[in-house]
Amino acid sequence: GQYTDVRLCAAPHLPDRRRTERLLPALSGLPLPGRSRPPTQALFDEDHFPKAMLTGKKAHQAFLKGARERVPLLKAKGRVSLEMVLPYPPGITVLEPGEVWTDEALSYFLFLQKYKSAFPDFSPEILGVHGKEAEPYVWVLKNQKEGS
């Protein structure tokens, strides 16, 4: 295809054959013209910005007072985040304290968890998502009904 030359040029520079075998299929899955948008695209569309249920100050106070609950990342949708959540690099905040976990934010961080497993040497640090890669969790507002 259009990117064959790029793949062939990149492969000899990788440290070992197994990484090459994992990298090439990942590169072929990158968004191309006519394919769906990358997972980050919707994060920056104003229509998809997360709803703020609390101010950052109130979210921080709730965290400090113990009005927090540790939930698996997979169950974060609709819950109010009590921490800033961002990958570094690039260091752009995806969720502020007090904002609701959206489908887009959840999809993005689940994608990053898969990426970290596949390419540990190239993975970003993720602030606000804690725990082992197999069991990531986040801190959310306690006693909050989903979606409220």
Q: What is the pLDDT of residues 22-66, one digit of tens each?
A: 665 665 555 444 545 555 667 777 777 889 999 999 999 999 999
Give me the phi and psi of 82, to 5 degrees please. Answer: -105, 0
Average pLDDT of the residues in 75-103: 94
Cα gap 43→32, rounded to integer Å: 19
Please tell me the pTM assigned to this model: 0.70
In this structure, are residues 81 and 60 in contact, taking their beta carbons and an 8 Å threshold?
no
The closest of 118, 103, 138 to 26, measured between CA atoms, is 118
* Percent of the chain residues topping a pLDDT of 70: 69
In this structure, are residues 125 and 81 in contact, taking their beta carbons and an 8 Å threshold?
no
